[in-house]
Amino acid sequence: MNFRKNEGYIITNAMTIGESEIVLGVHEAQPNMFVTWECSGKNDYY
């Protein structure tokens, strides 16, 4: 199983809205830490 990761966060959910993707990530070492990003191209998080 392939996981998408960014900055130590595993992307657990993604939703496409128009041309953008909004992702939710959970920190792989501290599972009580979450982050959301907008993403393009499956690897450009901002």
Hey, what are 41's tokens? 């191209």
Which pLDDT value is given to residue 41?
A: 86
SS3 per residue for 1-46: CCCCEECCEEEEEEEEECCEEEEEEEECCCCCCEEEEEEECCCEEC
Q: How far is residue 27's CA from residue 10's CA, in Å, rounded to a whole number?
A: 6
Is residue 14 over pLDDT 80? Answer: yes
Residue 39 confidence class, pLDDT cut points 50, 70, 90 = very high
Q: How far is residue 25's CA from residue 34's CA, in Å, rounded to a whole number?
A: 6
The amino acid occupying position 42 is K
